[in-house]
Structure 1
Amino acid sequence: MGMFGKINVFRRSLMRNLTKNIGKARSQEDIILVDKNDIKKILICRPNGRLGNLLLITPLVQEVTEIFPNCKVDLFVKGTLAPIIFENYDNIDKIIDLPKKPFKNLLKYLNVWISIKKQNYDIAINVDQNSSSGRLAVQFSNAKYKFFGDANEETQLVKNDYEHIAKYPVYNFRNYLTKLRFPKRNKIIAPLDLKLTSSEITEGKRILNDLFHNEKRTICIFTYATGEKCLSEEWWGRFYTQLKEEYKNYNIIEILPVENVSQIAFKAPTFYSKDIREIGSVIANADLFIGADSGIMHLASAVQTPTIGLFSVSKIKKYEPYDNSSIGIDVKLYTKKDYIKIINFILNDGKIKTYSKAI
């Protein structure tokens, strides 16, 4: 790790230690929320600019707007992707974005914090309890009700999917609402959702038709990932050869990353775009997506395409794709036969949650 990397790690550790107790002394056990229709404006804080992390808050946004259908939601994020991801969310009002490099954009950075202070929110929500900026934003806001994202030990014990990064913010917020005298909520947590329009999906189908000119079903692969999450060219070479042999009646397309690289040396037909929604529209027309833990893997899940996430270093329970027969796989534990069984199970509309290696 370079010097700047070490400094960044130290900075994050310092900020977490400084902010971890923000909100801990605040007790709202005796506050009674009279009418949920009084909640008109909510702030959700996730100051992160990565594609995957922004997609992973879509279940919480859906939860909030379902409970408070008359509210408008402001998002406190980082970078420029949020307006693209949430453009079809009717309840989203403002996107408040921190610059990716605050010291190079100091004036904008300060104006963002001032804008939060100026607004009168009914509820401010920090998505991740370990986010120092998120906790600070909630504390800094003028919200009447402030939720700092803290975990609930009881929920952790009873929910076997609590570790998932898209789900525990929802469980934690539900627990917070019970302190405001809301009834306990046990509804299944919503999937990730990009909310593609019908015209976007139709355009994705046109793109695939122009590439293949046939009526075959399609399998998408994404061979790239950042850092240690990226599987080797050797691994992908073997896997792609196996995929071609087993699924000759399918079109196989490689979705390329923004870096325009391929772990299979561009041997498959490819699709390249810098438009997140266009990439999503193409994947939405596929029958299966296979790729390592990455933002594009979460994008595939968010357009409701059955997704196989390939994990080698990340925590599966925290990041695996879910819903729509999706599954996370530890590549160190699975054999060639296991992959084929899982793929067949999904392509034949099986319920992946009942799958086991004993099938």
Structure 2
Amino acid sequence: MSVLGKINQFRRGVMRGLTKNIGKPKTERDIILVDKTEIKRVLICRPNGRLGNLLLITPLVQEVEETFPNCKIDLFVKGGLAPIIFENYEVVNKTIHLPKKPFKSLIEYIKVWISITSEPYDMAINVDQNSSSGRLAVKFSRAKYKFYGDLDGELTESKSDYDHIAKYPVYNFRTYLTKLGLPKKNKIVESLDLKLSIEEIANGKRILDHIIDPSKRTICLFTYATGEKCFSEEWWESFYSKLKVEYRNYNIIEILPIENVSQIGFQAPTYYSKDIREMGSVLANVDLFIGADSGIMHLASSVQAPVMGLFSVSELKKYEPYDGGSVGIDTKKCLQPEYFKIINSILENGKLKLYPKAV
């Protein structure tokens, strides 16, 4: 780990120690929510700017919208991706974003925090209980109802998918609502959702059709990932060579990262864009996405493309793709011959999608 990385790790540890008791039952009085219609303005705090982490809060945003249909949501995030991701969410009023480098934009950084304390929110929600900034934002808000992201006590029943980072904030939020006097909710947690329009999906098909043979089904690879999550060129080239043989009657394309690199040496037809929504629209039209744990993997999930997620260092239960016929596999336990059985199963079951494939 670099010196800067060690400093950031130390800083996070100190901040978590200072903020861990904020919002504990002893410091917040219990309040009963008599009428759900009084919740009109909600602040959701996820001060993180990564594509995957922002997409992973879409199930919670959908949960809040369903619970309080008359509300408008402000999102406290970092960076400039949130307005793009939540572009078609009518329930989202605005995004409040911290600058990526606060010490270089100190005045803007301070203004953001002041804006949170000045807004008359009815409810403030912290997504990640380990986020010091998220806990502080909820604490500093003027909201009557404050949820800090913690699960106070055990779930009344076991949830096999509780560890998933997109799901446990929803489960915890539901538990919090029961403490406000609302009835228990057992509905399945919603999928990640970019909320593409019909026009966006159709445009994605037009782009894809210029790359592939439209008469064939399409498998899309994403061979890049950050740090140790990225599989080696040797690994990908071995897998790709077998994939070409097994699925010779399929289109196989590679979607490229912003770095414009390829772990298979650009052997397959490629698609490159910096437009997140356009990338999502293209992925919405493929029959299978294969890639390591990354923001693009979650992007594919958010348009309900069937995903085979490759996990080697990330926690599978925490980040695996779900719904749309998707599956996450532990590459340390599952050998390559097994991959093709999984791929066959996904392709045979077809696309269980919220977004119909454009025609």
TM-score interval, smaller chain: over 0.9
Tell me, yes or no, if structure 1 residue 197 matches structure 2 residue 197. Answer: yes
CA distance in 2, matches of 1:117, 1:98: 14
CA distance in 1, matches of 2:66, 2:157: 26
CA 1:85/1:292 → structure 2, altered by over 3 Å: closer, same or farther? Answer: same
For 1:26, the equivalent position in structure 2 comes to: 27
CA drift at 1:151: 2.1
Other structure's SS at 2:214 match: coil
CA 1:128/1:156 → structure 2, altered by over 3 Å: closer, same or farther? Answer: farther
For 2:290, the equivalent position in structure 1 comes to: 290
Tell me, yes or no, if structure 1 residue 129 matches structure 2 residue 129. Answer: yes
CA distance in 1, matches of 2:156, 2:247: 41
CA distance in 1, matches of 2:278, 2:151: 36
CA distance in 2, matches of 1:56, 1:117: 26
For 1:248, the equivalent position in structure 2 comes to: 248
Does 72-81 or 2-11 show the bigger shift?
2-11
CA drift at 1:35: 1.1
Other structure's SS at 2:321 match: coil
CA 1:152/1:236 → structure 2, altered by over 3 Å: closer, same or farther? Answer: farther
CA distance in 2, matches of 1:15, 1:282: 40
Percent identical pairs in the alignment equals 71
CA drift at 1:337: 2.5
Contact 1:309 1:328 in 2 (8 A): yes
CA 1:296/1:157 → structure 2, altered by over 3 Å: closer, same or farther? Answer: same
Contact 2:217 2:251 in 1 (8 A): yes
For 1:187, the equivalent position in structure 2 comes to: 187
Does 108-117 or 148-157 show the bigger shift?
148-157
For 1:214, the equivalent position in structure 2 comes to: 214
- Residue identity in the other structure for 1:26: T
CA 1:303/1:156 → structure 2, altered by over 3 Å: closer, same or farther? Answer: farther
- Residue identity in the other structure for 2:79: G
CA distance in 2, matches of 1:351, 1:26: 48
Does 332-341 or 53-62 show the bigger shift?
332-341
Equivalent positions of 1:268-287 (< 5 A) are 268-287=268-287
How many residues are matched?
A: 351
Tell me, yes or no, if structure 1 residue 301 matches structure 2 residue 301. Answer: yes
In the superposition, the TM-score normalised over structure 2's length comes to: 0.96
CA drift at 1:2: 2.1
CA drift at 1:152: 4.3
CA distance in 2, matches of 1:32, 1:10: 39
CA distance in 2, matches of 1:342, 1:351: 14
CA drift at 1:52: 0.2
CA distance in 2, matches of 1:155, 1:222: 37
CA distance in 1, matches of 2:156, 2:317: 13
CA distance in 2, matches of 1:200, 1:351: 18
CA drift at 1:257: 0.2
- Residue identity in the other structure for 2:276: I
Does 33-42 or 155-164 show the bigger shift?
155-164
- CA displacement, residues 16-48 of structure 1 (integer Å, 9 cap, x when unaligned): 00000001123444x221111111000000000
For 2:61, the equivalent position in structure 1 comes to: 61
CA distance in 2, matches of 1:303, 1:120: 34
CA distance in 2, matches of 1:8, 1:75: 24
For 1:140, the equivalent position in structure 2 comes to: 140
CA distance in 2, matches of 1:292, 1:103: 33
For 1:355, the equivalent position in structure 2 comes to: none
- Residue identity in the other structure for 2:18: L
For 2:345, the equivalent position in structure 1 comes to: 345
For 1:84, the equivalent position in structure 2 comes to: 84
For 1:357, the equivalent position in structure 2 comes to: none
The runs of 5 or more residues in structure 2 that have no matched partner are 353-359
CA distance in 2, matches of 1:118, 1:210: 50
For 2:320, the equivalent position in structure 1 comes to: 320
CA distance in 1, matches of 2:281, 2:156: 35
Does 146-155 or 55-64 show the bigger shift?
146-155
CA 1:293/1:68 → structure 2, altered by over 3 Å: closer, same or farther? Answer: same
CA distance in 1, matches of 2:297, 2:314: 13
CA distance in 1, matches of 2:8, 2:211: 44
CA distance in 2, matches of 1:45, 1:169: 12
CA drift at 1:233: 0.6
CA distance in 2, matches of 1:135, 1:43: 12
Contact 2:54 2:82 in 1 (8 A): yes
- Residue identity in the other structure for 2:73: V
CA 1:351/1:158 → structure 2, altered by over 3 Å: closer, same or farther? Answer: farther
- Residue identity in the other structure for 1:72: K
Contact 1:124 1:145 in 2 (8 A): yes
Other structure's SS at 2:211 match: helix
Aligned-residue CA RMSD (Å): 1.4
